[in-house]
Each structure stands twice: as structure tokens, then as C-alpha cells.
Amino acid sequence: MVERMAENMAENSNPNRARDHLANERTFLAWLRTGIATIVFGFAIGRFSIALREFMKLQGYSSAVTPGLTTWLGIISTVGGVVLIFAGLQRYNKTKIQLDSNSFEPAGYVIDLVSWLLGIFGLVLGGYLAYIAVFSK
């Protein structure tokens, strides 16, 4: 076993190999944390909507006066968090293969796509909050 490890080290003469792989793992953990935070955020939004709906029923309001959009935003956020985790895993595996074969390529469109989607989601949430503030009076 020790001989095999020595052969693998001799094949890959990159002195930064361990550092590169550790950086790849840290990046994956950042994707994972972001995905988990997005899932928890979505769950909190959805749960708040359900709690608000139940509170409104106790106060005697009809079920037509419910924050239905909030539930959908929570679902979208939760699913988006899961997608982020799988995108991070895919990127981690792709980068690992590229580092092992000395053919690393930057992320490219994945970073742009995630940035645009999260930015649009933030604008939708902000617009929804503005709508509630203006029209709930």
C-alpha cells in the first residue's frame, strides 16, 4: 500500500495538489452551507405562512384572505436550496477530476446562473414585501 501511494505521488508532480483539493472541498462546503441556509429560509417562510393562515382562521377571517404567495416563495426557496446542493456536488466532482488530470477550467456559466437566479428571487421577495406594505393598509 505504501508503494502504491509513492507511485501516485510520483505520477502527480504538482506540489500544490493537496492545497488545490482542500480548496475544492472548502468551496463545496460553502455551496452546502448556502444550500442548507436557503432550505431553512424557505421552510421558515412556508411555515410562517401556514401559521399566519391558522391564526387568521382563529380570528374569524375567511380562507380567501390568506398569504398564498408566501407559501409558494417558501417552496421555491426550499427547492432552490436542494438544487444548490446538487450543483455544488456536481461542481466539486468536476473540479476534482480536472485537478487530478491537470486540466482545470473555471466554473463559467454555473456561477452566472446561480447569481442571476438568486438575484431575481431576492427582487421577487422585495417586490412582494413592498406590495404587502403598500396594499395592506
Number of domains in the chain: 1
pTM over 0.85: no
Task: Determine how many CB atoms are found less than 10 A away from the CB of residue 46.
Answer: 19
Per-residue pLDDT at 39 exceeds 80: yes
Query: Rounded to whole angstroms, what are the CA distances from 29 to 18, 39, 99, 120, 135?
Result: 17, 15, 18, 24, 41
Confirm whether 16 is domain-assigned: no
- Report yes or no on 8 lying in a domain: no
Stretch 86-93: mean pLDDT: 94
Q: Which of the two residues, 122 and 66, has the higher pLDDT score?
A: 122
> Is a pLDDT exceeding 80 seen at residue 9?
no
| Cα four-point dihedral sign 5, 10, 15, 21 | negative
Answer yes or no: is 15 within a domain: no
